[in-house]
Amino acid sequence: MEPSAAAVTRTSLASSGWFGAAAGGLAALTGWKRRGAAILLGALGALALPPVGFVPVLLIALPGLVWLLDGSPTKRAAFGAGWWWGLGWFLVGLYWIANALLIEPEKFGWMIPFATLGLSGVVAVFTGTATWATRLTRVTGMGRVPVLAGAWTVMEWARSWVLTGFPWNPLGSVWDAAAPVLQAGSLMGVFGLSLFTLLVFGLPAVLADFAPRRAKAGAVALSALLLASAFGFGAVRLAGANGDVVPDVRLRLVQPAIGQSHKWKEELREAHLLAYLTLSKAPGWDRVTHLVWPETAAPFLLDHDDHHRAQVASVAPPGGMVLTGAPRVTPQGVSPFRVWNSLMAIDGAAQLLGLYDKVHLVPFGEYVPFRAVLPAQLNIGGTDFSPGTGLRTLSLPGLPPVSPLICYESIFPAEVVGRDQDRPGWLLTITNDGWFGHSAGPYQHLAAGRMRAIEEGLPLVRAANTGISAVFDAWGRELARLELGRQGVVDSVLPKSLPPTLFAHYGNTVPLSLSLLSVVIGLGFCWVQRRIG
């Protein structure tokens, strides 16, 4: 038989003091007040995400979630605490999705509440499952925080692959502006940083418990020790960083800032290509070895279109090439007809030296899932693309081997390098962030790319249509940048790679193992507490 909310509150929360009052008040909430508080706490926590990055708000948002969980009298209520909190987190973190639907408001505007609320509600199921699983263990006291942290991290990992995956804005991404803490990603990836984050900001919730002062001081000390250790590790790792670069390589990233509403207009395609050609030949071109254009930069089928491919080739530096995004289709007469979102490497002789087809497509942006039951009109991209055969390491003249990624593919931890192929020397992301508009979306997308560089120990080069184009070294340090919405070029060296990191070797096995350990430790704390008490 489930205990009442009051009974749960009495056994886990203090009856006096500021923390006790706050915790008791949250735990005792019911109905719409409880749901509203959870949404507000999640929304507040989302202010820690890029570009705001105000991490201290998690000292309110995460203890508040723990206290709501404490006041959950049933498993269903425990799920609700996490789900409503997650709804607030994702609504604030993903509001920019509405911008994509406003490109053609007369056609897709009606979808805005369904897309923003619907997607946020679906991904919030994972946060709700984490709190439900924590409640299932019946763990109390200090142990409930490590158990919640472990369950939360496992569910973030699950979010990266269930229904093709959507690991946008994991909790660990809040450290984007804290370079030393980010370095822990080289050991345990962004999901490991999520575990770390929930422990650091969740453990102070113990201050509201009925517990000896020594136990409360221990919880706060453990939180501080974890934070200090991360900063210390990162400081030491960054102190050993160097500025080594690949010799005889100088990249030019081209950012034309073409508005999404104009990008695919038939009458403007020639003008768009001309803009790329003109920017590519801007002063300093004679010192560049390779040009990088963003996703679908060339609005023509370059593999079949000799004329426009020759135009692209005309700006390739001597002995170098143009790396550009472009659509690709099956040859005429070949069935079934298919379309790919591709990256092509074209040299000065208009030869196609390398090709990569995007593997991880965006649901409803590049294809309609469950097409048999859903209308094709739900595809805001207008065309169903086909996925490529897999991640590839391309060997191109004058460059270290490269792992290309197109847009959305850079958000998937441990899925940016073909593990069955030779290790690349760098990561290349081409993207069209024009869908996002001037919003938090491009900054969050950029932060995901930086994290992939740190996780893999590989520099990352990122060329975007409307920004943000940037170059990161293998420590995630930014070497070059062209701001959101700005037209222009940015020239940069190509940093050298590092030896494979721990995360590069073992991938998400590391954070999952740490999650299991965290749960075991949490259960152990609870067992000791019950034996003593």
Catalytic residues: 295, 358, 407
- C-alpha distances in angstroms, 478 versus 20, 94, 200? 44, 25, 27
Residue with tokens 């822990």, as numbered in its chain:
184
Distance of CA 51 to the CA centre of its chain: 13
Phi, psi (5° rounding) for residue 161? -140, -20
CA distance 384 to 135: 42
Residue 184: name the closest of 136, 222, 232 by CA: 232
List for the chain the helix, strand, coil content (%; round to 5).
Answer: 50, 15, 35
Kindly state the DSSP code that residue 47 receives in the 8-state scheme. G
Burial (CB count <10 Å: 0-12, 13-18, 19+), residue 318: exposed
Neighbours of 507 (CB within 10 A): 18
DSSP 318-376: TT-EEEEEEEEEPPTT-SS--EEEEEEEEETT--EEEEEE--SPPBTTTB-TTTTTS-G
- C-alpha distances in angstroms, 271 versus 74, 300, 303, 395, 466? 62, 12, 20, 32, 16
Is 154 within 8 Å of 515 (Cβ atoms)?
Answer: yes
Distance of CA 321 to the CA centre of its chain: 30
Amino acid present at 407: C
Q: Which residues pair with 488 in a beta bridge?
A: 255
Report residue 35 as tokens: 């749901």
* Residues making up the chain, counted from first to last: 533
Report residue 16 as tokens: 């006096």
Cα angle, residue 284 at apex, residues 283 and 285 outer, rounded to 5°: 95
